[in-house]
Amino acid sequence: MMLSFRATVSLFVGLFLWLAVQGVYAAGPIFTPAAPSVAASSYYLMDFNSGRVLAEKDPDKRVAPASLTKIMTVYVVFRELKAGHLTLDEKVTISQNAWETGGSKMFVEVNKQVAIEDLLQGVVIQSGNDASVALAEHVAGSEQTFATMMNEQASRLGMANSNFENATGLPMPNHYSSAHDLAILAQALIKEFPDYYRWDSQKEFTYNGITQQNRNQLLWRDASVDGVKTGFTDDAGYCMVASAKREDMRLIAVVMGAASPNARANESQSLLNYGFRFFETHRLYEAGKVLSEARVRKGETSKLSVGVAEDVFVTAPRKHFNELKAESQVDKAVLAPINKGDTVGTLNITLAGETILSKPLVAMDSIAEGGFFRRLYDAVVVMLEK
């Protein structure tokens, strides 16, 4: 059933007051310029907080990810650190296999012991293939087993068009990802590991007397850019996952298959500028705050506080936030017992008649079953309401 008129009005009034505080008043026709032309085989531009897609081309096309693979490599290691299975100062013995790995290098030496923190910076900043293999072997015993861990995380995150066969991104027949999947991965990495993500904005790293610069050219061009990773192989072309934060808005841009290092930087910058120029993102509702009440049947109490389990961010064309409409729909029959966090409805945010965001409405409290007569009475009421 719909929430009461009073509860629905409360949602609208809350949204209107929030907009008034932001200084957004005048409504007008919605016009958003088309995304810029991007010279890449595929690309994806997404708001970090709301997840709204602002521009895309062949986002689910399976392509060689090159060194963008290493975003997943460090993500897996970060999770192992968080779980307490590793420590940053833990030493890794460099194998002959890791040392021999071709491509970009951190220049670790065989049988030397290197701290995990140094190896991670060697992967993130220097894109070291040798460091990637050394971490994979230390965490999982072999790079092949580590790839299984990578694929487990890809599945958990919903990366439906990704399969990893190694920790480096060196070409293999069944090693692929997509622009969409890499945006999902970057979003998870930034959200879950902000302390480690700081390395992505580091412009250079020195190890064994050798200083190498971060290949992300945007770190020098745009102060709002703070990550994430570049990649290149003959199969993949020049690729980049870039993230930037301006005021309270963060965007993630993925560009696959550009023609040169300058092209991938230019195209990524073009996408980021487009997103920041023509869209804005704000938090509308806070996690855990009560938005309204729902009527409960067969419970020891008849009223249930309803809200959202996580902060609700909305991305919309600039200067059109005052045209957003919020509607809360509760399930037709909310019956006890109810556990805190149970989904009991949906919060829909629309703009010009189009739903731009839907979030589950959840129970803010638990409600046990009522006594026999309460359950009997409500059972009759439920039958009459059908």
H helix intervals, the chain: 5-22, 69-82, 96-100, 116-124, 129-140, 143-157, 179-192, 194-197, 218-221, 261-278, 372-385
Q: How far is CA 144 from CA 65, 121, 157, 318, in A?
A: 17, 22, 20, 47
- The separation between the first and the last C-alpha atoms of the chain, rounded to the nearest angstrom, is 11
Read off the tokens for 223.
């102060």
Is 270 catalytic? The answer is: no
Handedness of CA 37, 158, 249, 307 (dihedral sign): positive
Opening angle at CA 30, ends 351 and 280, nearest 5? 70
User: Contact, 147 vs 76, CB < 8 A?
Assistant: no
Q: Is 67 a catalytic residue?
A: yes
Note if 203 is an active site residue: no
Phi, psi of 203 (to 5 degrees): -80, -25
Question: Catalytic one among 127, 177, 243, 268?
Answer: 127
Strand, helix or coil for residue 309: coil
Closest C-alpha among 354, 356, 282, 355 to residue 318: 282
List residues bridging with 297 in a β-sheet.
335
Given the residues 70, 229, 298, 359, select the one marked as catalytic. Answer: 70
Task: Residue 216: name the closest of 45, 59, 67, 58 by CA.
Answer: 67
- Residue 382 CA to residue 2 CA, distance in Å, equals 15
**Is residue 230 a contact partner of residue 258, using CB atoms and an 8 Å limit?**
no
| Residue from 307, 305, 304 nearest 288 by CA | 307
Catalytically annotated residue among 42, 50, 67, 177? 67
Token pair 């609208």 in the structure block, residue: 12
Could you give the residue numbers annotated as active site? 67, 70, 127
